Amino acid sequence: MKKALKISGISLLVIITFFVTSPYIFQSQIKELVKRFINDNLNAQVEFSDVTLSFIKSFPEAHVNIYDLAITNFEPFKGDTLVSAPKIAFTMSVRELFKNPDEPLIINSITVTKALVNLKTNAKGKSNYDITKETENEATETSSFTFDIQDYQIKNSTINYLSEESKIAFIISELNHKGKGIFSANKSELDTKSEANVSFTMDSTNYLNKNPIKLDALIGLDLENSKYTFKENKGYINQLPIKFNGFVQLLETGQDVDITFENPESSFKNFLAVIPETYSKNIENVQTTGDFKIKGIIKGLVTDETIPKLDISIKSNNASFKYPSLPKSVENIVIDTEIKNTTGYVKDTYVAINTLDFKIDDDVFKSSATIKNITGNMLVNANIDGVINLENIAKVYPVDFKTPLSGILKATVNTAFDMDAVEKNAYQRIKISGTSSLTNFNYAEGFKNPIAISEAALTFNPETISLNTFKATTGISDINATGTIKNLLGFMLSNKTLQGNFNLNSNTFAVNDFMTDDVAEETKTETNKKAASKPTTKTASIKIPAFLDCTINAQANTVVYDNLQLKNAKGTLVIKDEEVKLQNFTTNLFDGKLALSGVVSTKNETPTFNMDLGINSFDIAKSFEGMELFQKLAPLAKIIQGKLNTTLNLKGNLTDDFTPNLNSLSGAALAEILSSTVNPASAELITKLGSSLNFIDFKKINLNDLKTKFEFNDGKVSVKPFKIKYQDIDIEIAGSHGFDQTMTYNAIFNVPAKYLGNDVTNLIAKIDDASAKNITIPITANITGSYTNPSVKTDLTSGVTNLTKQLVEIQKQKLINQGKDKASSMLNDLIAGNKSKKDSASTAQTNAVKDVLGSIVGGNKTATDTTKTKTTTKDAVKNALGGLLSGKKKVKDTTK
């Protein structure tokens, strides 16, 4: 017994050792086999991170995992990922591992998890999934893999198909599919179960959006004849059950299809089952009357030129439905729709909605339409005649509105057109007539305030639609509009721009009323942010619709924009390409007039503007108080009482509530001040200047007819030199300041000599020259710091030097002229031959020169005292200027 146990233990140990170590032995063989299969069969770049082998996971079969498989295309789809899958699992018999490399490997099962397949056909008809390598003799080629699959699974995967050639996008998402069968036999059966969500778009129109489908199908496999027969099949479109049978057979030229289908039940509840459950909600307890039947035949060849013939009908007669939780029902429902193709050519497929009628209370709605030549120049013929009380929609159907709808819609419209005529605006081929009206309509979803349309009326004509009446209110705003609309069908059917010309009148138009909820909430949050300095989450700003191409002649008694109230506003707005151009816009503001022209654009992520403003007779105090822009451009304007004229070019970015972002502004202006007075007590800067320049009373300064130019960019304002006057003192100012209130300015005061005190006036009196009385001295004030904490420094150096030179030069010229007169007299005496007079004149000349030098240096008789006298004169000037600036008799340069 012990011996038997020992042998059993050794055997078990050998088996365990084999299962543990053999995967490492065969793993490299599997990797090489996978690589060889890929290289021999696929014309694409294939990568995977690892291949593993296990004997335990699927015992007694071997289990192979391929990780991070990625198949990437070559030209003309270079770089596109065709297939990606985090994991693909295979099972096979263990004996398959012991075969020679040239022998075929039989795979028993496959499981693919979270695969993504991107199928694409470009505009030239080339497909990215055509990656199989061509061989010289395909009949003699054998693969290293063969399949005897007993089961396979695809879990949570996605298949995308995009055809640029036919403008089709088809998406199968959340695909879960599994099947069991035997593929090795010539004839067998495959039992499959599938479920997925399907989306389908053609020509930018979304026909299906994640609609759920299910299919349980027993498929007969006739591999010898490539024929697949559907047996005992039941599928679901949303919740609508569909039974179908027939076959698909592969031929050398295409496929032969013969399938019939119908819904097994005829209750009208099946109609609600077609609608996605997200919208139809729980239909289990819905009360219905009448029938609903879908039947179809798809039969014929699928080739490059043909499709199967179609005969599909959807019918219901005198039906009704009522949701148990809702107060009203929809009655007298009649549906008669056909989808047909009798020739097998795609262009001959057509849809006929012969009847689509229903009734809610006493409101009856009737419609019909036919759509032909679907893949070519589509032909449409449609008729609408009915009334809908919009309030009843939520009372008969479980639709979720944040705020309930209300209003009465009436329409009687007939139209017939082809899509080519719509695309080319060939109105002679478009027939449309009728009227439509909407009264007492209320809607709030997506807007800050509910929109109430009291009355709107349209008349339809082939080329235009007349907006006869449009009266609406929202918030404090009211709108009254008329006009014409062009290309409505092109806008609705082919994504073309909506064109029109409108006249808009309003008593009060508040821009903030037309914001969306998100932007309005963000504006409120931004205000709180400035107060609390807390970060906020940015949302999308207002966008000018790209589909609009219209001109609006607008007039409003009051326009409320930010905190401004614009009176008697009127002008033209041209909306096109996500831009609004303002033309000839005028309004009354701040007791003056504003003319405005320019562009607002939302083409880029950040909205921008470029405006020219003409301002006439603005009240300076009111405009400074009401506009933050003025506070940044001209901070000192708060001390001025008067009127302002200016032309202003302004460009930059807009915030999400369409107000200027001041830090982004740039532009230039020419400003003129009219009939002004100054209140210096309200500015710290003026107080500092007054204490430094005690000879000026800033209350009496004259700003009338002041003109100045300035430019601004990156939050900085550069002011060109401009002149003002205080009594007989000329003042020149230039410099710059920032939006952050910092500043750097120079003010030069040209002060007449009479303000310079007794020392200087006595000195001028001794000169006894008329030009000396007109002497002025420049005094420079350097202004820095900020408007709330300014720094003023006065520079006397240049003023002292300038005045001294002027005084000396005037006296010098005076005495030189006197010397010329004496020299002329001496010359006359010399010519007369009077030698005694000559000697006398020589002495007189010498004395005259001394007198000149003495006068120049201050009246002393000898030239040796000149330097001393000049110094005395300069000191006298400095003393006079010091007294001028500070009231003291003797000071040097001052800093205050």
Give the whole-angstrom CA distance, residue 89 versus residue 106: 14
Residue of 13 and 423 predicted with greater confidence: 423
Give the whole-angstrom CA distance, residue 463 versus residue 428: 8
- Tell me, what's the pLDDT at 462? 78
Name residue 230's amino acid. Answer: F
Secondary structure of residue 327 in the 3-state scheme: coil
179-210 per-position pLDDT tens digit: 887 766 677 788 888 899 888 887 666 667 78
Q: Is the pLDDT of residue 702 over 60?
A: yes
Whole-structure pTM value: 0.63
For 422-457, the DSSP string reads HHTT-GGG-EEEEEEEEEEEEE-TTSSS-EEEEEEE
Sign of CA dihedral 739, 744, 750, 753: positive
- Tell me, what's the pLDDT at 852? 32
Give the whole-angstrom CA distance, residue 67 versus residue 265: 46
- Name every residue whose Cβ is closer than 8 Å to that of residue 500 and which is 6 or more positions away in sequence: 467, 483, 484, 485, 486, 549, 550, 551
Residue of 214 and 108 predicted with greater confidence: 214
Q: How confident is the model at residue 327 (pLDDT cuts 50, 70, 90)?
A: very high
Between β-strands 498-510 and 548-561, what pairing exists: parallel, antiparallel or unpaired?
A: parallel
804-821 per-position pLDDT tens digit: 777 677 767 766 766 655
Q: Is the pLDDT of residue 431 over 50?
A: yes
- Tell me, what's the pLDDT at 339? 93
3-state secondary structure labels for all residues of 498-538 = EEEEEEEEEEEEEHHHHCCHHHHHHHHHHHHHHHHCCCCCC
- Tell me, what's the pLDDT at 864? 38
Distances (CA, A) of 132 to 20, 30, 489: 37, 22, 46
The answer to whether 599 and 579 are in contact (CB under 8 A) is: yes
Give the whole-angstrom CA distance, residue 378 versus residue 373: 5
Arithmetic mean of pLDDT, 817-840:
54
- Name every residue whose Cβ is closer than 8 Å to that of residue 883 and which is 6 or more positions away in sequence: 756, 757, 889, 890, 891
578-635 per-position pLDDT tens digit: 999 999 999 999 889 999 999 999 888 889 999 999 999 888 888 878 888 888 888 8
3-state secondary structure labels for all residues of 373-405 = CCCCCCEEEEEEEEEEEHHHHHHHCCCCCCCCC
Q: Both tokens of residue 402?
A: 């944040």
- Tell me, what's the pLDDT at 582? 92
Name residue 486's amino acid. Answer: K
Name residue 10's amino acid. Answer: I
Contacts 24+ apart (CB under 8 A), 368-375: 373/347, 373/348, 373/418, 374/346, 374/347, 374/349, 374/350, 375/166, 375/346, 375/347, 375/349
Q: Is the pLDDT of residue 769 over 90?
A: no
Q: How open is the CA angle 243-247-253, to the nearest 5 degrees?
A: 140
Give the whole-angstrom CA distance, residue 540 versus residue 9: 73
487-536 per-position pLDDT tens digit: 887 787 777 888 899 999 999 998 888 765 544 444 444 444 443 444 44
Between β-strands 145-163 and 116-121, what pairing exists: parallel, antiparallel or unpaired?
A: parallel
- Tell me, what's the pLDDT at 234? 82
- Tell me, what's the pLDDT at 440? 94
Give the whole-angstrom CA distance, residue 661 versus residue 140: 74
92: left (phi over 0), alpha (psi -120 to 50) or beta: beta
- Tell me, what's the pLDDT at 299? 94
- Tell me, what's the pLDDT at 56? 58
Name residue 107's amino acid. Answer: I
C-alpha dihedral, 737 to 738 to 743 to 745, nearest 10° = -20
The per-residue b/e assignment along 212-229, b for 16 or more CB within 10 angstroms, e otherwise, is bbbbebebebeeeeebbb
Q: What percent of the chain has pLDDT over 70?
A: 74
Give the whole-angstrom CA distance, residue 401 versus residue 423: 35
Averaged confidence pLDDT in the chain? 78
C-alpha dihedral, 270 to 276 to 282 to 285, nearest 10° = -10
Across 6-15, 415-424, 880-889, least confident range: 6-15
How many helices (H) and strands (E) are present in the chain, helices listed first? 14, 39
Picking from 435, 443, 494, 496, the residue whose alpha carbon sits closest to that of residue 469 is 435
Arithmetic mean of pLDDT, 537-550:
71
Arithmetic mean of pLDDT, 739-743:
87
The answer to whether 635 and 737 are in contact (CB under 8 A) is: yes
Arithmetic mean of pLDDT, 332-355:
92
Q: How confident is the model at residue 867 (pLDDT cuts 50, 70, 90)?
A: very low
Q: Both tokens of residue 256?
A: 């032969």
Chain centre to alpha carbon of residue 183: 55
Give the whole-angstrom CA distance, residue 745 versus residue 733: 7
Q: Is the pLDDT of residue 883 over 90?
A: no
Residue of 545 and 291 predicted with greater confidence: 291
Instruction: Please state, as a whole number, how many other Cβ atoms lie within 10 Å of the Cβ of residue 558.
Output: 18
Give the whole-angstrom CA distance, residue 438 versus residue 629: 43
Residue of 895 and 751 predicted with greater confidence: 751
CA atoms within 13 A on the CB side of 116: 7
Q: What residues does each domain of the chain span?
A: 758-782+795-886
Q: How open is the CA angle 193-196-201, to the nearest 5 degrees?
A: 140
Q: Both tokens of residue 182?
A: 């035997």
Arithmetic mean of pLDDT, 211-239:
84
Q: Is the pLDDT of residue 718 over 80?
A: yes
Distances (CA, A) of 65 to 37, 53, 84, 157: 16, 7, 14, 17
- Tell me, what's the pLDDT at 847? 43
92-113 per-position pLDDT tens digit: 776 666 666 566 667 778 888 9
Q: How confident is the model at residue 427 (pLDDT cuts 50, 70, 90)?
A: confident
Residue of 358 and 275 predicted with greater confidence: 358
Q: How confident is the model at residue 548 (pLDDT cuts 50, 70, 90)?
A: confident
